[in-house]
Amino acid sequence: MTVYLIAILCVVGLAVGQILFKVSAAALSASGSLFSPKAASALVAAMCLYGITSIAWVWILQKIELGRVYPLMALAFVLVPIGSYLVFGERFQTQYFIGVALIMLGIIIAVRA
């Protein structure tokens, strides 16, 4: 059970990393320089988060089969858009929510198999 919890934390970390990449991209567009403090710090934070989650993922793969834990990665398709809504105010259509529901159903089925 602990392995699955850490796997979910990895997915959350990757989702936060994606939001930080977008923050970096927006700061780059605003400043015109990747070396602006906001762009650089968001980029470095995202890369560090990706590095930490990658190391944790390797640990997870020592404990459990890839095919059993990988379906949890699909949670990123749910978490990243939620984060983009909360941080950037991005909007989604009804079809998106139907797709998210199907992804969640698929994750539940795959993890219980």
If one counts every other C-beta atom within 10 angstroms of the C-beta of residue 100, the result is 15
Average pLDDT over residues 2-21: 96
Q: Which amino acid is at 91?
A: R
Q: Which two tokens stand for residue 30?
A: 């605003």
Using alpha carbons only, give the angle 29, 32, 35 rounded to the nearest 5 degrees: 110
Distance CA 4, CA 10 (A): 10
Say yes or no to pLDDT of 23 above 90: yes
Q: Report whether pLDDT(113) > 80.
A: no
Q: Looking at the predicted structure, is the pLDDT value of residue 35 above 80?
A: yes
Amino acid letter for position 80: V
Mean per-residue pLDDT for 29-57? 95
* CA 38 to the chain's CA centroid: 20
| pTM metric for this prediction | 0.87
